[in-house]
Amino acid sequence: MGPKEGDRSEMTHTAHIDTFVRDHLPPKDEWPQFLFDLPELRYPERLNCAGVLVDDAVSEGHGEDTALYFQGDTWSYRELHERSNQIAHVLRDDLGLVLGNRVLLRSANNPMLAACWLAVIKAGGIAVTTMPLLRSRELRVVADKARVSHVLCDARLIDECEDAFADLEPAMSALTYGNGELEAAMSRKPTTFDNADTAADDPCLLAFTSGTTGQPKATVHFHRDVLAMADTFARSVLRTSHDDVYLGSPPLGFTFGLGAQLVFPLRFRAGASFIEAPTPDGLLETIQATRVTCLFTAPTMYRALLGRTSEYDLSSLRRCVSAGEPLPKATSDAWHEATGIRIIDGIGTTEMIHIFVSAAGRDIRPGATGLPVPGYEACVLDDDDQPLPRGSTGRLAVRGPTGCRYLDDERQRDYVVGGWNVTGDTYRVDREGYFWFQARADDMIISAGYNIAGPEVEAALMEHPAVAECAVVASPHAERGHIAKAFVVRRAEYESEGDQLVSELQDLVKSRIAPYKYPREIEWVDALPKTQTGKVQRFKLRERERMAADGDRSRTD
């Protein structure tokens, strides 16, 4: 076993003058155990991850190689390096950024957002990248929690920021780009910059969870965590190389997107292709135009892409990665049949920064999430928080070079148990050590004494051609305690079908899995509630069912 974070009596001397984030980390005895077994994970004590990603690339001779593709244009590593340096000067010289300040970034995925993110890190700030679809109330929650002091925003999205921060005291220092404001300030700055002399364990990133269970949490990641996500998953599973071009649908405000579309390609001197509005046709057109080699998106998008793949030249694709939601075997099989590529599934969390269980190539077992990514350990725990042997089902627990540190949040004690990060997912580990998703802990439905995993029912429903999307949750029931209820979005050609289609879907589930698991109720919906990252918010459906049941009882009483 490698060195442990807990072996250090104190963190390396910080470069931060504004120590708000460090002061509000959880107590050290509530941190998970950190492992640094792999040689590539043993970083120097003084480290600025942005310098590794862009400065080192230029000094290694990659300055004229393409770093970013966007709307028919390209930025070389040299251009990305110089522009991020100029923005770092603006932050420090014009906006008065102090090392450790939090900088809120708001934009769709584009090269200027990438340059701003790198600039914040270079200047010793802490990046707080927000989803472009967030509204003023949500932005206010983020700004209050993070104590944001500076804002860099795409001019097209500034209205929500102005509404959110209008009455804040002291007022934030803000600049917009795309309208010439930040660009004019940059033009007066040199293209060289002395990066902040930060420690490897200085915070550089505040990432907010996407809110699938309610109130989002702010997770703190250090400079070494940013590199570690590349030096584990991207290095060992994806085997990222200089000739890769990466593309994805998730925003950079989501750590899945940050890794996939910025950190991974830059770490290995590859290219990243950005798209601001990741529609199915937009993604396919971009793959064709920029010769993308690796695509990152969610199962829902892969299903949307099916049927269109033959209309585009996708011959450059070598790898496809899925995360954010469980990947149904039916989707995996359909994509493989259409493209010849078997999707790499993976589970990652904002708390862990990126994917920690996955498999690629011949190691893929369709339907299974995979094996622990090199650098990580994983197991399942019983109700007493003890690891279970292979062949068991329990709560997924993981530890490695990254881990959960919530900013000033009592829920830290729920996520970290006995040194393990406990993700809230129920998994089965087979005899070969493969992890098979069963359900989110709160998605397990107990009906008349039977345990029913909602995602298992969803996977069976998705085999019917009428089902575009679905979510299965527990609905209160007078006799059975709860029943499995399915909310189903029908494809357009099936919208006129009602009771007969309900029976078809119920019979299909009974034929695929144990009959007691079938959805006893099916409700047609136009859309499922989702987070900004596309994750289904099942808790909203459960709450709706609970409130409906409470209303029925009150009327009866």
Strand order through the sheet with 73-76: 73-76, 66-70, 271-274, 245-248, 294-297, 319-322, 344-348, 355-358, 371-372
H-run or E-run covering 507: helix 499-512
Q: Which of 110, 55, 433 is nearest to 276 (CA)?
A: 110
Tokens of 334: 């359909």
Q: Which of 182, 83, 105 is nearest to 149 (CA)?
A: 105
Torsion of CA 163, 165, 166, 172, to 10 degrees: -140
Provide Rg for the chain, Cα atoms.
24
The ranges assigned to domains in the chain are 20-429, 448-556
Q: Is 20-429 a CATH 3.40.50.920 domain?
A: no
Burial 346-361 (b: 16+ CB within 10 A, else e): bbbbbbbbbbbbbbbe
Whether the predicted model's global pTM rises above the 0.85 cut: no
Which CATH class, in words, describes the domain spanning 448-556?
alpha beta
User: Contact at 8 Å (CB) between 506 and 483?
Assistant: no
Taking only the tens of pLDDT, the chain with its 557 residues reads 334 443 333 456 899 999 999 999 999 999 999 999 999 999 999 999 999 999 999 999 999 999 999 999 999 999 999 999 999 999 999 999 999 999 999 999 999 999 999 999 999 999 999 988 777 878 888 999 999 999 999 999 998 888 888 877 667 888 999 999 999 999 999 999 999 999 999 999 999 986 544 477 999 999 999 999 999 999 999 999 999 999 999 999 999 999 999 999 999 999 999 999 899 999 999 999 999 999 999 887 898 899 899 999 999 999 999 997 788 888 899 999 999 999 999 999 999 999 999 999 999 999 999 999 999 999 999 989 999 999 999 999 999 999 999 999 999 999 999 999 999 899 999 999 999 988 777 677 878 766 787 888 998 999 999 999 999 999 988 777 789 999 999 999 998 888 899 999 999 999 888 788 899 999 999 999 988 777 889 889 998 998 888 776 555 44
Residue type present at position 110: N
- What backbone phi and psi angles, to 5 degrees, belong to 441? -55, -40
- What backbone phi and psi angles, to 5 degrees, belong to 455? -60, -30
